[in-house]
Amino acid sequence: MNILVVGGGGREHALVWDIWASGLTKKLFCAPGNAGIAEFAACVPIAADDLSALAEFAKKEKIDLVVVGPEAPLSLGIVDLIEEMGIPAFGPTASAAMLESSKIFTKEFCRRHGIPTASGEAFGDIGEARRYIESKNRPLVVKADGLAAGKGVIVADNTQQAIAAADQLLIKRIVGAAGLRILVEERLEGEEASFFALVDGEYALPLASAHDHKRIGDGDTGPNTGGMGAYSPAPIMTEALNARVMKEIIEPTVRGMAEEGRPFKGILFAGLMITKEGPKLLEYNVRFGDPECQVILPRLKSDLLPGLIAAREGQLAHFDLRWHDEAALCVVLAAKGYPGEFAKGTEIKGLGAAAKVPGVTIFHAGTKALDGRIVANGGRVLGVTALGPSIEDAQKRAYEAVSLIDWKDGYYRRDIGSRAIKRNKA
């Protein structure tokens, strides 16, 4: 098969890495790709949101399957466009991608279908938002309605912080048009987890769980980012809890989307809060997470590509996947200054030595090749992933590899996985 993967981050590197190993793959392309992806696929200089150019390329190269990594092209309707041309595409339509592209849509959808989630209200007027926040007088979460690259969620400890967050989104437009409307929610207490399912429109096949570290600083401090590290599986997600998430959240969502004429096909990623009352939905994503993808796919023993095809063709009911028992942990190396301003073009050395650490795979995100060197070309630049018998073992291997990378302009958290290790030792 001729495969085109859309995107150029760490998630797409992990997808390319896995699909390249499939016996079904004949030619593999990635648009736009990065320096690491170029080792496995032909990188095409087309932006992930340039839908028309991507469609023309897929037609010209006789692509048999387009696999879409990021949320932006999905929300813009790339799957609709590609499928209309008669080319199979993996991922939800723009209508189904509303589960991620509009947090307000998802909140109202959950109410209609009885899916457990935080209470909340939507606002487009700052005065109404302020009055609502003042009436609650408790910790809240303020979210931009639209896509904001993981930076549109502000957790507020008090009323003043919540009002300031609403002002930032609605008045100062810190995330642009994504913040034209906001969602103000109750702040749930518990432990977060990420749950993934492969969906074919009617049937959902559970994948692995993971935990993502969103905050920039150790101890979960500082502003939110796209993700500074992850591990899989999430220790809190027992078999009983996995079954409950499927029954109470995933399956009602798949049924509800089909009933509303928006059948969902693709990766359904539920961001969860495990509360005293049970699992509650924080938000939906309609694709693999980044960096969660970088810890889930290395644990997958089966060939991923047949699963993607089965989901696209509505044939998951009789399909299964096998998993390694090992844990995986990923440490993200970001440019200093991220998620604010950061420099590009700084050289990264030592990648060869780091990759030789047993169990380690280095996934590139914001990199490019320049005159035989690897240089930084984004905010989140590398994802150093390690497999091990336990999360603690995977953590040791990942940080050993990180220590061998020579990049003076890089930054990383030093506590990825520590909470899970403490839980396992308790």
Judge residue 52's burial from the number of C-beta atoms within 10 Å of its C-beta, 0-12 exposed, 13-18 middle, 19 or more buried: exposed
Q: What kind of fold does domain 191-318 have according to CATH?
A: D-amino Acid Aminotransferase; Chain A, domain 1 (3.30.470)
Tell me, what's the pLDDT at 348?
98
Each residue's pLDDT tens digit, 293-311: 999 999 999 999 999 999 9
What is residue 371's DSSP assignment? T
Q: What dihedral do alpha carbons 336, 234, 297, 37 form, nearest 10°? A: 0
**Residue 266 token pair:** 């693709």
Tell me, what's the pLDDT at 426?
65
Cα dist. 265→79, 92, 129, 278 in Å?
10, 5, 35, 26
What does the alpha-carbon distance between residue 284 and residue 186 come to, in Å, rounded to a whole number? 17
Answer for the pair 395, 420: CB distance below 8 angstroms, yes or no: no
Ordered by start, the domain boundaries in the chain are 2-91, 125-180, 191-318, 327-425
Dihedrals phi, psi of 45, to nearest 5 degrees: -75, 60
Average pLDDT for the chain: 96
Among 275, 217, 268, 276, which Cα is nearest to 246's? Answer: 268
Beta strand ranges found along 83-130 (DSSP E):
89-90, 120-123
> Tokens 């502003």 label which residue?
223
Q: Which CATH class is domain 2-91?
A: alpha beta
What does the alpha-carbon distance between residue 202 and residue 267 come to, in Å, rounded to a whole number? 13
Homologous superfamily of domain range 327-425 = Phosphoribosylglycinamide synthetase, C-terminal domain (3.90.600.10)
**Residue 32 token pair:** 């736009």
| pLDDT < 50 positions in the chain | none
Q: What kind of fold does domain 125-180 have according to CATH?
A: Dna Ligase; domain 1 (3.30.1490)
- 3-state DSSP percent of the chain in helix, strand and coil, to 5: 35, 30, 35
pTM of the shown model:
0.95
Tell me, what's the pLDDT at 423?
78
Tell me, what's the pLDDT at 223?
85
Tell me, what's the pLDDT at 262?
97
What does the alpha-carbon distance between residue 237 and residue 329 come to, in Å, rounded to a whole number? 16
Answer for the pair 123, 182: CB distance below 8 angstroms, yes or no: yes
